[in-house]
Amino acid sequence: MIMTVDVPGLTAAAFGVGSSHDRLTDPNRHGDADAGPGLIDFAVNVRPGPPPFIVEALTSRIADLAAYPSDADTEAATARAAALHGRDVRDVLLLGGAAEGFELVARLGFSHAALIQPSFTEPARVLVAAGTRVTHVTPPPPWRLSDAQVPEDADLVVVGNPTNPTSVLHPAADILALRRPGRTILVDEAFADLTLDGDSFEPESVAHLAGDDLIVVRSVTKTFGLAGLRAGYLLASPRTIDAMTVGRRHWPLGTLTLTALHACLGGAGQAYAHEQARIVAADRAHLVTRLGEIGLSPLAPPRAPYVLLSTPNALGLKDALTGRGFAVRSCANFVGLGSDHLRLAVRPAELTDGLIAAVQDVRDRPAEPGETRNR
């Protein structure tokens, strides 16, 4: 399915959703809006944290905050990112969160962007605001990239890998097959360091590949529990980085963000990421098993720290779970999805067991007149 948006500004209608649940269908709504105080959080895809070695690194720099961020800190974090991916330091741009990367890409003046959907809503928001024509390309479930009908005249293609919220991990070969003369491929790898294939870490990442037609955006906040700090980076050719940073403000990253990037991208940080990826794989398997016991299963084989479900009256179930102390993410504001779709973050087995018990409790209560149930 293809949908084109040619007007500046975003509305729920532009994302192919109705007006009946405006609060949940707002494209600018994110999972943190569902994770209220005191709730057990299955709505936000950030791992618990930050880990102690990150806390120690950040704490050690508090006394330095009277000074402006230093070139030495920027260079040290950049060098670690380059070494991690086998790239030249000129191929690395540090970011105040991966979302800043999408803002900078939107500056490049693309005329027609194809967004592989369902996916993170931020790229559409900034591209439309920049005056770029946006086409939403939605392959049928299970959302294989090889089934995507990308317009030939698209000079930018945006794809998440693994994709949020479907948890689909696209083969790198399918991403590279999107290449065309005059086209740039933007790959959002915010969750790539939480993917495994056996013992292979980040199996389908293209972050190590150089080229003027490839931009890879990465985040450290998901894996290291740093969403409140905003830290990320992108990998692209020096020419592309020069073009997107014209007029960027001085000191775009603070000292603590630079410190966090340096720690996350070093040896201890990558060992921690490997450990988290293994934990995610085990906890996700438990989640899928427990969901199957109550007649629910992911809509696509999950490879990220979240799974996507569909169930009748999902909004009613979401509200009922909130009343029982659990937050889950409505996917009503994702292109190609609707009010019957929910995303569950992967959590430890004991929390998953509590969520499943709550779902069963909701199902076992007496039905309201006219209420739809899924058993």
- Residue-wise pLDDT for 254-280, tens only, equals 999 999 999 999 999 999 999 999 999
Residue-wise pLDDT for 118-151, tens only, equals 999 999 999 999 999 999 999 999 999 999 999 9
Q: Minimal CA–CA distance to 228: which of 375, 93, 96?
A: 96
pLDDT at 9: 32
pLDDT at 49: 83
CB 69 within 8 A of CB 251: yes
pLDDT at 366: 62
158/364: higher pLDDT: 158
The residue type at 123: P
φ, ψ (nearest 5 deg) of residue 11: -130, 170
pLDDT at 178: 98
Please tell me the number of Cα atoms within 13 Å of 222 on its side-chain side.
Answer: 26
User: For the residues 291-302, what does the mean pLDDT come to?
Assistant: 96
- Token pair listed for 267: 């040896």
pLDDT at 252: 96
- Would you place residue 30 in the very low, low, confident or very high pLDDT band (cuts 50, 70, 90)? low
Residue-wise pLDDT for 55-74, tens only, equals 999 999 999 999 999 999 99
Within the chain, where are the H helices?
22-25, 52-59, 71-85, 98-106, 122-129, 172-176, 221-224, 238-244, 255-264, 267-293, 314-323, 349-364
Q: Minimal CA–CA distance to 210: which of 43, 86, 58, 47?
A: 86
pLDDT at 368: 58
